[in-house]
Amino acid sequence: MTRDARFEDGSEGPLALRAETAEDLSVIAALVQDAVLPTSEIAWDAKARRLACLLNRFRWEDKDAAEAEGRPFERVQSLLVISDVASVQSMGVDRKDRELVLSVLDLSFEETSEGAGRLILTVAGDGAIAASVECLSVDLRDVTRPYRAVSGKAPHHPD
């Protein structure tokens, strides 16, 4: 993980990651797990060949430190940008319903030919948004300061 800046008060700056391999994507996938994503915050720019999603994600990278220090768990607004997108398909997701809020389960890549494939954002309720891409190029960048998670709890996944 890399940090591209520090805030004016000297605190750690926003997270900024780029995935160009399946291994890189696994890091981003872990960080966006349990993010919430309103359908109103999904935008595909066909001319720029870019799919952008503004997510509210749990700060998994800070969970252990917050737990050890007795600090509240945090969330942050992050921009997920998928580049070189040829087409986007929604499966089980009504993107026209602007009130719908999706819960992100996974982000994966299915290679269809050398470097090209489909990036699949899987959401709760058996839904997915698939982007057909010419190459794997995904950016995740925090766009706000972290803030206290409303529930005060970390997401939990029963075994």
Question: pLDDT digit string (tens) for 58-113?
Answer: 999 999 999 999 999 999 999 999 999 999 999 999 878 888 999 999 999 999 88
Structure-block tokens of residue 12: 């750690």
User: Rounded CA gap, 142 and 79, in Å?
Assistant: 6
User: Rounded CA gap, 45 and 31, in Å?
Assistant: 24
Identify which of 105, 129, 136 has the alpha carbon closest to the alpha carbon of residue 22: 136
Full-model pTM: 0.88
**Residue 129 is inside which H or E element, if any?**
strand 127-133
- When pLDDT is cut at 50, 70 and 90, the band that residue 11 belongs to is low
User: Rounded CA gap, 9 and 138, in Å?
Assistant: 29
